[in-house]
Structure 1
Amino acid sequence: MEALWLPFPVLQHVLFYEAAGLTPFDSVVDSLRSSLGATLATFAPLAGKLVHLEDTGDVAIACSASDAATRLQGGLAVGVTLHHGVADGKSFWTFVEAWASACRCRGEAPAATPCFDRSVIKWPGGEEIARSVLRVRAGLACRGTQAFHPPDIHRGRAATRTPKAARITRDGEVHGKTLHRPPSSFVAVVAMASAFFARCKTTAADEDAGGDVFLFFFADVRERLDDPPVDAGYYFGACLTGCLARLPARDVHGDGALAAAASAIQEEILELAEDPLAGWNFMSLAGKIPSDRVMNVSGSPGFRPYDVGDFGWGKPRRTEPIRMNHDGQVALVRAADGHGVQVSVSLLQSAHMEAFKSQMRLLELK
């Protein structure tokens, strides 16, 4: 499944730390370097960089022993970059947790050994699909490692509590959007974000015209396969499939908006349970749906950067995804307080961003 991700931009996050808990800067750098070396001994696939060889069209690994650290006034920033062809979000934070643990423990290698064996993921015809993907997209194979110049984009971030499942369920019953089950934290937060996004992007005219809005999100299928690998949680790679939910614009402007969005998301999750790999070719959706009507969600409330990112000088004060450079992107992680959800969003128009923030503020008042 990793072959599908070779053309994609890299995963990049930066974690910010206050100076109060830091040891001398040189000592911090030494600790980061030594613990990184110890961690990479266990996470061997991360010890190099994927590069595209133009002469042959192959993908190779370029190894380098260099790294760098920069002191910031009042604190420290640690940036982490992984190619999406070797890791998804779950694997990304698994690596960060292992590195941070090794740094706190003065260079000791992580106790748990991840699984890198791609053969444990049983995907009928997967090898041929991977070969065909590489043949078609060979020239794009390492686009994610190249310099990227984003358009002018507006970014926002908010930590919000998860909308109460009981309230969403009750609203669904009142407005004829009965849910299959009480929504999970993921469904509740994504329903909230998608409803707010759609309200920013659509108007009453769209409601009258019967236009649709779309929500695209990824699902981790490690434990959803018919023959899941033993200790699926330790599988390190990109094991994702795409899901696309559609709902009428009129539904997100009504009182039952959260329930309508949650119902659409749950329908996609039910279909995912029937065939976890049905959405593997998510790239085929490009050009088939209006890009300005799609919200693209990555991450999960289950990702805990503020908990796993303690390198020995306390939890991060803030963490941010870097590669959010497109209209309608949303990234989710567990909030710093351990209870809510941090929602990062990028929108092309400032008016849309202000409208989205206004919706978030209104939710906090309820």
Structure 2
Amino acid sequence: MVKVLDSFLVSPPPGVVPTVSLRLTYFDMPWLFCPNVQRLFFYKFPHPTLYFMETTLPMLKRSLSLTLQHFFPYAANIMCPPSPGKPFIHYTDGDSVAFTVAESDKDFDHVVADYPRDVELLHPFVPQLPSEEVTEDGIRVLPVIALRVTVFPNSGICIGSTYHHTVGDGKSFMHFMRFWASGNRSGATDGDLIRLENSLPLINKDVVKDPAGLELAYLKNYWHWVSSRGENSAPPKDITSNKVRATFTFDRARAERLKQLVTTGDAEQNHISTFMVTCAFVWVSLIKSKENLAYNLSDNDDDDNKFYYFMFSSDCRNRLEFPVPTTYLGNCLRPCIVDVKRSELIGEDGIVLAAKAIGRAIKEAMRSGWEWAEDPVSAIRKRAITGRLTPTAGSPKLGVYDTDFGWGKPCKVELAHIDHDGAMSMAECRDGQGGIEVGLALNKNQMDEFVAVFEQNLKHLGL
């Protein structure tokens, strides 16, 4: 589906970044066990491939090199020593990012459409990370990021990224992307880049304190993970077969109407956000579509007391006893898990009850900051094994549609890895009017059923 035109490595300018090692905090370590993030940015680009190669590509490479000077952890490697060693990020002069350029003959408008399309459609635009290596002393070396630019001649461009979440969360990655985009847009020198962005990343792990002694618990999980890596060599199952992906928009008007429904009769008058009601609406629609399909196949488990689970991440940068600046490059996310009984979710007030449950989880995260009742890694695994956990990926607060390389804002941003992990992706609406876009990848039969339930719920609630 794509023709590779060129491949190369991009490093920070030589000699400007010293050799450095950065420890991983207890916010970073859980992401070692998670799949890589695959984010695709699509832009209108009405020029031929030759124009891109001769005019656009040189500045993309230069601005990326200057950006990596300040965001060098993305050019580094994650070092994973065996027990009792601790994992860390290591950069040395010459470390680089794998960058490929490709061309596609696919219909660009079809690729960026919101309606259901085969999930395989996006995979050729996703770059592959270089393979990990193992040093003589048993340290596993994990590359951090790979980039691919795919040109759709006279139609568009896709900037695809695959990166290891361990180095930084969505806020850190989007800081990196916007910095790169601003430099490319202006044709800037390094000094101009700093003035344009006026907020360089803070690369200092010492700002994250550990008053509760959480690091040891995560190190135990890490030592188990690193010792068992490579033991299971069975090829992964193709879980994308017969799947389609689609984007659903929950605009501001719908969100405001649903907020009114949720707050009616709420004695506590809790704050109800667009995020809460959108998650609740989509989550309940997903559950009802699964239940309907199971019922039609005579394969349903009608235990009203079983739980469904919803998971999202809460940014802790402004919710900790110790200050963590917004420009901190690293992870500062707390997982939030919502447990609600089946009987409540599929009932008449399922969406309202789901929204309030999500609201309580947000309130608890704001109250407790870095404290949680149980190890989040174990808590997530315990719920995931039931098959009834719906995780989220991305956030409407990341500003992915503000990433302008000089060709205008993206016409579509996708998270391709949801094809594999069953998450719903979330981003702000492209129109900038305060709504939310939700991406889903489902079996084709379930997608058909979900669309029917989604539209039925909109009609039932007068949205």
TM-score of Structure 1 vs Structure 2, range by shorter chain: 0.7 to 0.9
Q: Secondary structure at the match of 1:6?
A: helix
Q: Secondary structure at the match of 2:340?
A: strand
Match of 2:406 in 1: 312
Size of the aligned set, in residue pairs, is 357
2:424–2:440 CA contact under 8 A, matched in 1: yes
2:397–2:427 CA contact under 8 A, matched in 1: yes
So what's the TM-score if we normalise by structure 2?
0.69
Shift of 1:284: 0.1
Q: Following superposition of structure 1 onto structure 2, how do residues 1-366 of structure 1 map, counting pairs within 5 Å?
A: 1-20=27-46, 24-26=51-53, 27-50=55-78, 52=80, 61=90, 63-64=95-96, 66-70=98-102, 71-73=151-153, 74-108=155-189, 109-110=193-194, 111-124=198-211, 125-139=213-227, 150-152=238-240, 153-162=243-252, 163-165=254-256, 167-171=258-262, 173=264, 180-202=269-291, 209-229=304-324, 232-279=325-372, 281-289=375-383, 290-307=385-402, 309-326=403-420, 328-339=422-433, 340-347=435-442, 349-362=443-456, 366=463
- Sequence identity of aligned pairs in percent? 25
1:281-312 residue CA offsets vs partner (Å, 9 max, x unmatched)? 321024523532111112211122222x2101
1:227-250 residue CA offsets vs partner (Å, 9 max, x unmatched)? 223xx2111111111111111222
Unaligned runs of 5+ in 2: 1-26, 103-150
Quick one: distance in 2 between partners of 1:76 and 1:149? Answer: 31
| Shift in CA distance, 243/164, structure 1 to aligned 2, threshold 3 Å | same
Structure with higher Rg: it is 2
2:286–2:450 CA contact under 8 A, matched in 1: yes
Shift of 1:4: 1.7
Shift of 1:267: 1.3
So what's the TM-score if we normalise by structure 1?
0.86
Shift of 1:94: 1.3
Q: Secondary structure at the match of 2:33?
A: coil
1:213–1:249 CA contact under 8 A, matched in 2: yes
Q: Secondary structure at the match of 1:216?
A: strand
Shift of 1:104: 0.6
2:37–2:417 CA contact under 8 A, matched in 1: yes
Shift of 1:266: 1.2
Amino acid corresponding to residue 112 of structure 1 in structure 2: S
| Shift in CA distance, 168/67, structure 1 to aligned 2, threshold 3 Å | closer
1:48-86 residue CA offsets vs partner (Å, 9 max, x unmatched)? 243657899866658236522223333211112321111
Quick one: distance in 2 between partners of 1:242 and 1:325? Answer: 21
Structure number with higher relative contact order (C-alpha < 8 Å, ≥ 6 residues apart): 1
Amino acid corresponding to residue 85 of structure 1 in structure 2: T
1:239-273 residue CA offsets vs partner (Å, 9 max, x unmatched)? 11111111122222333222111110111122212
1:191-221 residue CA offsets vs partner (Å, 9 max, x unmatched)? 1121112212235876663332111111111
Quick one: distance in 1 between partners of 2:165 and 2:237? Answer: 19
